Structure 1
Amino acid sequence: MKAGVDVGPTNTDAALLGHADAILSTVKVASVPGDPVASVAAALGRLGAPPLAQVAVGLRGAASAVDDRRGLYKVAVLRIGGHEAQAVRPLFGWPEDLLRAVCAATAIVDGGGGLDREDWTPLDTVAVARFAAGVAGRAQAVAITGLFSPLDAEQELEAADIVRAELGDLPVALSADLGSLGLIERENATVLDAALSGFATDVAARLAAALSPVTAVHVTRGDGTLMSLEHLARHPGLSLGSGPASMLRGAGVLTGLEDAVVADVGARRVRVGALAGGFPEEAPGGARIGGVPVGLRIPELIRVPRPFEPAELAEAVDRMQPGADRLPLVVVGGGERAVPGGLHPAHGTAAGAIGAATSPVGGQYERVVRLPDRSDLPAALEAVIEEARASAVRAGADPRHVRILEAADTPLAYLPGPFVRLRARAAGPPAQL
């Protein structure tokens, strides 16, 4: 048997699943304010679950920590790119209160600087070491973003080694691990990833201790898949957006639909999103977390405050429809009775918990490559596919059963030369050891 838990700001839902993911029971308990681990323990206690093979937890605490500006590490923000990277300074446009909560210092150092290897400039290792020494005692984590890391992450790795030599075992987040093309969105995501390091490490350790009899413990991530507790501690930013992602996945599982528009009706607001191929439709170009744009895979959502007029909800549903061929509307959440139309599946109030319990462990990889000869594309794409597969295994997937969800190539017409963006996603069932 396995269980899924969805920790919300007001209530925590849990679901017990048996053979072939049959739903045996669900419960709803009041969340413990500011303590997601205690909320998980309370929900599983109410569920009265027997020994479990797996628990998957939907944690919304990371987004709450950013929104509330609490429990965040002070981050030293290092950008590699020299003159080409100075048009917009790091953390430009951040809300002042979030800036005060997160920023220890920022710097831009020389390095990279071209689309071809022969045009690159060496990393200014002296400037990196000077910056690291200058933030000693002030920074609790470091975020490193290279302007051209989607092409080559070598200089980010080199800078990370220098930072660790100066500062010791501080969390160091690299933008190449998050894989988004836009510099500002990728850098913002990397900074938040570093800022959430303390929160994630604490939650991972406490969940492991609280659920120690369980063979496998995973948490949800924003693309509708799962990751291990160890992966959460390394990349906490991947959990941003995971609550809505689990809800969307659960709505699909409960109805057997892979493509649908979903309305999650809560006590204070309605969130409308879409499923495509069984996974959340992503916000184009990323989303905003805590008031800043981030290049992370997060569900595209339209929020409607409650109480709402029927026309407001109808407009949100229409905007999420992909085209003239209308998708069915699935209504879930604790307030689903407020919406008379659409499909109302049994156990819809626990859709987030069911989505967490039934999701696979995921991984992704993306890079930009120069392909003067299109005949080289299959080999280049295969290398990216293997990286995505390895990413899923590192996140906790069973290596024997990982499958490729997506593999795509997109020519980048706005870059000089034959550059192509390669992207792959992989997923598999959780490894039991």
Structure 2
Amino acid sequence: MHIGIDVGGTNTDAVLMDGRQTLGAVKHATTPDVTTGIVQAIQDLRRGHHFEGEQITAVMIGTTHFINALVQAKRLAPTAALRLGLPATKALPPLVDWPEGLKNAISARSYLAHGGYEFDGRPISPLDPDELRAHAEDMKAHGIRSVAISAVFSPVNHDLEVRAAEIIAEVLGSDVAISLSHEIGRIGLLERENATIINAALRELAAEIVDGLTVAVRAEGIDSPIYLSQNDGTLMDEDYVRLYPVATFASGPTNSMRGAALTSGLATCAVIDIGGTTADIGLLVNGFPRETANEVKVAGIRTNFRMPDVLSLGIGGGSIVDTETGEVGPESVGYKLGTEALVFGGGTLTATDIAVAAGRVEIGDRSKVAHLDPAFVQKVLARIAERVSEAVDRMRTSPEPIAVVAVGGGSILLADELPLFGAVNRPENYAVANAIGASIAQVGGEIDKVYTIEPGQREESLAAVRAEAIDKAIAAGASPRSVKIIDFDEVPIPYLPGNATRIRVKAVGDLEMGVRV
């Protein structure tokens, strides 16, 4: 057996799984410190379906710890951004497009140094070790505890980032966390650099959170490996999370979509995940979320790391309803739904109250919403359906009919028919699809680099890249027999010499349960 947990803004959902069969499922209000809610969810699971700690082979968690820390600008480490690219790139220094509040929250310091590459792999300038040591001494003097190193076109050649990290570590010591951009983002200097700075700022928190989760799970007598889910629907172990916390940012919507695929039996469909705060709409392709091809803004910062293509609406079970216009959201009572909604004795009209008044769900005290005008209730529900339908229409890439699956506790807000799309699939255990998605997550390996393809060597080169992705998945803990390539892109770059080609390969496999990686 294994446990899947997903932490949302309103509820923490948990499921007890035997393979792909759901043995038990619970919802618990998300607590302000998040970790307490996870412990309580595990305890609720045990009460509903008793298990011994040694029976659990793995615990998979999708958490909002890190994205919340960034959005709230709290618990971030003093961080330095070091860019290798002089004499180029001086016009737009690191952190140029960051909000002032976030720069202050990380006590930001930025540095420019020589190094980096042209787009064709030619060096811009040689690395200057003395220059880097001087920068490192300044970082040390200003109390920097985490460093983000980015080099121009490091996805083409990352050796300068690695060497710079060695020099910085010599001065700052092994206790300082160093993040390298070629390991985090894709081609596109500012976006890749931003993602790396975010990752660096979260490194200390990552160690603290992983330790906290480990202690909490161990306190319940569970000694199995703990995994956190990534943006792309795959898992990472505790050590990986400490290095790359930024990879967890979109795990919530991803888990819901993966859970929708399992519970509905549909590998390609549109998924509407309605929680307590937002409705997230995305497309499943071959059982995995379609990834965005564009830059992604996180807390107002442009990034380009792996993220699912998700459109979020401020509509959820906790969304506040305007009593005059009938508009829903984007403000939400969040995890206070159980005390602030009318049906729970509160004084705020929420979307959940509307669903109860319409007879779509039996929770709380229905008499508390008996005064609502039925016409007003139907107007609100129709508006919700209209906005969700428009969002699904925006997400699809062709006019062909597409199946629609609704999951999440807030999906009670949708009727059985959706304008433009017809019947809505609402599978069994739809309310905890996100936790199910976390529990069935696989282990992946991705390669996204620019290669020089020699004449007559194309097939051999592509085979080598595929093998590298498969090896990466196996190293992350995937069962070798289960690994397969699920995504492959080959894009020639005509403005680069030497038959330059950007190749992206993604391999996934089933986690070897109980095996520590």
**Number of aligned residues:** 430
Quote the residue 2:13 is aligned against.
13
Quote the residue 2:111 is aligned against.
107
Deviations 1:281-339 (A, max 9, x none): 11222411111111111111222223254322111010111212221111111111111
Q: Supply the AA of the counterpart residue of 1:218.
A: Y
Q: State the distance in 2 between where 1:118 and 1:251 align.
A: 47
Percent identity between matched residues is 33
Quote the residue 1:380 is aligned against.
461
- How far did 1:378 drift? 2.4
Please state whether the residue corresponding to 1:81 is helix, strand or coil: strand
Q: Which of 67, 73, 76 is equivalent to 2:80? A: 76
Please state whether the residue corresponding to 1:335 is helix, strand or coil: helix
Quote the residue 1:316 is aligned against.
391
- How far did 1:381 drift? 2.4
More deviation, 36-45/243-252? 36-45
Deviations 1:46-73 (A, max 9, x none): 0005131111001111111111111111
Q: State the distance in 2 between where 1:195 and 1:37 align.
A: 20
Please state whether the residue corresponding to 1:351 is helix, strand or coil: helix
- How far did 1:162 drift? 0.4
Q: Which of 179, 196, 200 is equivalent to 1:194? A: 200
Maintained 8 Å contact 2:493/2:501: yes
- How far did 1:417 drift? 4.9
- How far did 1:179 drift? 4.3
Quote the residue 1:301 is aligned against.
310
Quote the residue 2:233 is aligned against.
224
Q: State the distance in 1 between where 2:312 and 2:94 align.
A: 29
Q: State the distance in 2 between where 1:132 and 1:174 align.
A: 16
- How far did 1:416 drift? 4.8
Runs of 4+ in structure 1 over 3 Å off:
115-120, 393-396, 398-401, 414-417
Gaps of 5+ in 2: 316-327, 329-382, 418-423
- How far did 1:399 drift? 4.3
**Per the alignment, do residues 200 and 89 of structure 1 end up closer, same or farther by CA in structure 2, a change over 3 Å counting?**
same
- How far did 1:411 drift? 0.7
More deviation, 273-282/362-371? 362-371
Quote the residue 1:263 is aligned against.
272
More deviation, 169-178/381-390? 381-390
Q: State the distance in 2 between where 1:95 and 1:118 align.
A: 34
Quote the residue 1:335 is aligned against.
410
Quote the residue 1:345 is aligned against.
427
Q: State the distance in 1 between where 2:498 and 2:100 align.
A: 40
Q: Determine whether 1:94 maps to 2:98.
A: yes
- How far did 1:216 drift? 2.1
Q: Determine whether 1:85 maps to 2:166.
A: no
Please state whether the residue corresponding to 2:60 is helix, strand or coil: strand
More deviation, 268-277/186-195? 268-277
How do 1:273-312 and structure 2 match up within 5 A?
A: 273-306=282-315, 307=328, 308-312=383-387
Q: Supply the AA of the counterpart residue of 1:403.
A: K
**Per the alignment, do residues 177 and 76 of structure 1 end up closer, same or farther by CA in structure 2, a change over 3 Å counting?**
same
Maintained 8 Å contact 1:104/1:138: no
Q: Which of 412, 425, 428 is equivalent to 2:493? A: 412
How do 1:242-261 and structure 2 match up within 5 A?
A: 242-261=251-270
Gaps of 5+ in 1: none
**Per the alignment, do residues 411 and 196 of structure 1 end up closer, same or farther by CA in structure 2, a change over 3 Å counting?**
same
Give TM-score scaled by structure 1 length. 0.95
Please tell me the root mean square deviation across aligned C-alpha atoms, in Å: 1.8
Deviations 1:331-377 (A, max 9, x none): 1111111111311111111011000001101221211122352x222
Q: Which of 197, 204, 211 is equivalent to 2:217? A: 211
Maintained 8 Å contact 1:55/1:214: no
More deviation, 291-300/78-87? 78-87
Deviations 1:190-246 (A, max 9, x none): 111111111211111222223333322111000111110111011111111111111
Maintained 8 Å contact 2:384/2:414: no
- How far did 1:103 drift? 4.4
Quote the residue 2:442 is aligned against.
360
* Rg (Cα) greater in structure: 2
Q: State the distance in 2 between where 1:138 and 1:104 align.
A: 11
Please state whether the residue corresponding to 1:267 is helix, strand or coil: coil
Please state whether the residue corresponding to 1:135 is helix, strand or coil: helix
Maintained 8 Å contact 2:115/2:123: no
**Per the alignment, do residues 86 and 394 of structure 1 end up closer, same or farther by CA in structure 2, a change over 3 Å counting?**
farther
Quote the residue 1:63 is aligned against.
67
Maintained 8 Å contact 1:104/1:135: no
- How far did 1:113 drift? 3.4
Q: State the distance in 2 between where 1:174 and 1:105 align.
A: 16
Quote the residue 1:28 is aligned against.
27
Maintained 8 Å contact 2:229/2:251: yes
Q: State the distance in 2 between where 1:118 and 1:322 align.
A: 39
Q: State the distance in 1 between where 2:453 and 2:229 align.
A: 36
Q: State the distance in 1 between where 2:500 and 2:212 align.
A: 45
More deviation, 306-315/147-156? 306-315
Q: State the distance in 1 between where 2:259 and 2:30 align.
A: 20
- How far did 1:154 drift? 0.2
Q: State the distance in 1 between where 2:122 and 2:153 align.
A: 13
**Per the alignment, do residues 232 and 255 of structure 1 end up closer, same or farther by CA in structure 2, a change over 3 Å counting?**
same
More deviation, 185-194/114-123? 114-123
Q: State the distance in 2 between where 1:97 and 1:380 align.
A: 46
Maintained 8 Å contact 1:80/1:147: yes
Maintained 8 Å contact 2:199/2:245: yes
Please state whether the residue corresponding to 1:47 is helix, strand or coil: helix
Give TM-score scaled by structure 2 length. 0.80
